[in-house]
Structure formats: C-alpha cells, structure tokens
Amino acid sequence: MNLTVNGVAREVESGPLTPLLFVLRDELELTGAKAGCQQGGCGACTVLVDGEPRRSCLTPLAAVEGAEITTVEGLGTPEDLAPIQQAFTHHYAAQCGFCTSGLMLAAQAYIDHGGTDDRHAIQEALSGHVCRCTGYVKIVDAVAAAARGDEFDLTVTAGSSGMTSGGVR
C-alpha cells in the first residue's frame, strides 16, 4: 500500500487492518507518535492525515491508503524548528514529553484551520489530549502564542500566565 509520509512517498507492507500507529512506529520506524492507550482515549498517537488530526491507533492502514501523513518528525528539525515546536519549547509545554507530539500536531491543525489565541477555543480543540504531568496552562499558553504568530527566543522560557513572585517572606 502507498502512503506519503512527511512528504516522502512510501510503500508499506503492513496488513490493511494494522493501525497506522504501528505502521509508523514498527515498519517506518517513526517513533514520535506514542502508543499511550490504543483505545483512542489519550491523543498521544495523533498524527495529521491530509492535514486533519487523527488518532493513529484507531486508523487502519487501509483507511488512509494514498493519504498524506504528517508526524512530529515532519514538523521541523532541531536546527529548524517549526513555530509550534518553538512555542512548546519557549512556553515549557512539554514535561515528560510523551503527550507532546500528539498535542503539537493537533495544535498545528487547529492553527492551520484559522484557530485563534482564544483560550477556550484551544481547550475545546485539544480536549482529546491528556497531559498527565499536567501542563495544560503552559500548553494553552504555547498554542495561543503560536496562533498569534509570536516570535520565540529559544534561549529562555516564559513564565505562565497567572504566576507572580511573592519574594522572600
């Protein structure tokens, strides 16, 4: 079966019912999408299928034949991070990092579809993604900043909205 993965045409041999997650991880050795639950419940496996966020653990290979797949590996490289990756870095939106690729891809789709920095809209759009660490404040900060088109200084991180220093008492 044929797929385009991160812009490269690939022919894959996995069976037609193999979840896309394992086609990516086991056959193509793209391990950025994570097997968090295989129930569709956590969002750690989300990738973009023709630009739309999809749980790859729920998606049989045959359902995406001929589609364009984008994984975290297709977003940007360490030397040339995509804006959403810069936003997640600058706003410290990744703690253990296991939910991060799914969240960034969902956020990318949200922004590509014209999403704004409205916090409630971001929470609604990403509500299928569990971050147990749970960095929701900083994740929403990061997506809002990326949606605004902020420029990011990657040598420092940003403080959260809502934080104040009480000094020494």
Partner 1 sequence: MATHKGRGVSAIEYPTGMNQNGDPSQAWIKIKPDGRVDVFAGTSDIGNGSKTIQSQIVADALGVPYDWITYDNSNTDSSPLCTGTFASRATFVAGMAAKKAAESARTKLLEIAGKLLEIDPADLDVVDGEVIPKGAPQKKISVADVAGAATWVYGELITGTGAQLKPYAAIVDNETGRVDLPPHSAISYAACAAEVEVDDETGHVTVTHLWQCFDVGHALNPTLVEGQIEGGAMQGLGLSVLENCYPYYPSVEHRGGQFGSYLAPGMEDLPQIDTIIIENPSADGPYGAKGIGEMANNPQPPAITAAVYDAIGVWITELPITPERVLRALEAKAKPRREGKVVIFDEELSLAKFAHADVAVKFDVHA
Partner 2 sequence: MPAIDVLTPTSPDEAVAAFGDGTGVVVLGGGTIVVPEMTYGRLKPERVLMLGRAGLAGISRSGSTVTIGAATPVADLVGLAAPLGPCAANVADAEIRAQGTVGGNLCAGEGPEAPRGDLQGALLALGAVVRSAGAGGIASEPLEDFLPKRRSRLALDVSFEEPAAGAFANLDRPHTDDYTALAVSGARAADGTIRLAATGAGWWGLRLPSAEAKAGDPEAAGAAALADVKLADDALASAWYRGKVLPVLVRRVLAQLKEIA
Partner 3 sequence: MKAVGARLPRYDGIAHVTGRSTYVDDVRIPGTLWVKALRSPHHNAAITKLDTSPAEKLKGVHAVVTAADVPLLVYGHLSALGIPGDEPLLADGEVRYQGQPIAVVAAESEELAMAAVEAIRIEYEERPALFDIRKAFDPDAPVIHEWGNWYPHFEGELDRRQIRKGDIEWAFDKADTIVQGVYRPAAIEHVPLETQVCQVVPEADGRLTIYSCTQALYFSLGVVCAHLQLPLNKVKVVGGTVGGGFGGKVDTATETMCALLAQKSGRPVKWRWTREEEFLCSSTRAPWHMEIADAVTKDGWILGRKMLTLHDSGAYARFSPYGLTKHSFHHAGAYTIPNIHFDGYVVFTNRVPTTAMRGFGVTSVSFAVETHLSRIAVELGIDPFELRLKNANRIGDTTPNGVVLTDPSTVPTIQAIADAIGHELTAEYRTTTRDTRSGAFLPDHLVSQLGNPEEH
Which chain residues interact with partner 2 by CB under 8 A?
15-17, 19, 38-43, 46, 52-55, 57-60, 62-63, 106, 124-125, 127-130
Shortest Cβ 58–partner 3 spacing (Å):
13
**How many angstroms separate the CA atoms of 147 and 86, rounded?**
12
Q: CA-to-CA distance for 146 and 32, rounded, in angstroms?
A: 21
How far apart are the C-alpha atoms of 12 and 100, rounded to whole Å? 26
- 158, 92 Cβ separation under 8 angstroms: yes
- 106, 109, 122, 158: which one binds partner 3 (CB under 8 A): 158
Using CB under 8 A as the criterion, what x/- string covers residues 30-49 for binding partner 1? Answer: -------x-x-xx-------
In this structure, what DSSP letter does residue 158 have?
P
List of residues contacting partner 1 (CB under 8 A): 37, 39, 41-42, 92, 95-97, 123-124, 126-127, 129-140, 157-160, 162-169
